[in-house]
């Protein structure tokens, strides 16, 4: 299954009763395995959790901590970028040059690197005092 197909597939299972805005994400770990995530809303937190965070959680639960590729899809007029919190989470597990492919259900696409999505990202190295 391609990354786009994996993101499209999981998007259909998103739980978005409030916004009706379903998002699917697929992340490829360094092992080559693909992990999926979708947004999940609830009454107390109607904006819900993000698809990318769900895919990262699945990857970590499987024992991987490095991602090498990301794909996100939504039914929107233009490709949707990951939210700010998810950008930081993606940077935590991926290198600056990791490609993030963003797509619409109509076929429009945009690709950016993690560094382009989150310039000046907080890095673990900033806490190191040698």
What are the percentages of helix, strand and coil residues in the chain, rounded to 5?
A: 30, 35, 35
Nearest-10 crossing angle of helices 3-11, 51-61 = 110
Sorted by sequence, the CB contacts under 8 Å of residue 95 that are 6+ apart come out as 114
pLDDT digits (tens, 9 = 90+) for 27-81: 999 999 999 999 999 888 777 789 999 999 999 999 999 999 999 999 999 999 9
Q: Domain ranges in the chain?
A: 3-127
Question: Count of CB atoms within 10 A of residue 14's CB?
Answer: 22
Whole-angstrom distance, CA of residue 46 vs CA of residue 69: 28
CATH topology of domain 3-127: Cytidine Deaminase; domain 2 (3.40.140)
* Residue predicted with more confidence, 128 or 9: 9
Predicted pLDDT of residue 130: 67
Instruction: Give the residue ranges of the annotated binding site for Zn(2+).
Output: 50, 83, 86
Residue 106 has pLDDT above 90, yes or no: yes
From the candidates 52, 66, 109, 116, which is the catalytic residue? 52
Mean pLDDT for the chain?
93
- Active-site residue flag, 66: no
């Amino acid at each position: 299954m391609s990354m786009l197909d994996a993101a499209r597939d999981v998007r259909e299972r998103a739980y978005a009763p409030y916004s009706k805005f379903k998002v699917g994400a697929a992340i490829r770990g360094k092992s080559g395995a693909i992990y999926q995530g979708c947004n999940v809303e609830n009454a107390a937190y109607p904006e819900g959790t993000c698809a990318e965070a769900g895919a990262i959680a699945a990857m970590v639960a499987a024992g991987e901590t490095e991602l090498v590729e990301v794909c996100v899809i939504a039914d929107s007029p233009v490709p949707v970028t990951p939210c700010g919190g998810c950008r930081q989470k993606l940077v935590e597990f991926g290198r600056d040059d990791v490609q993030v492919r963003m797509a619409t259900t109509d076929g429009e696409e945009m690709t950016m690197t993690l560094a382009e999505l989150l310039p000046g990202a907080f890095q673990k190295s900033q806490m190191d005092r040698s």
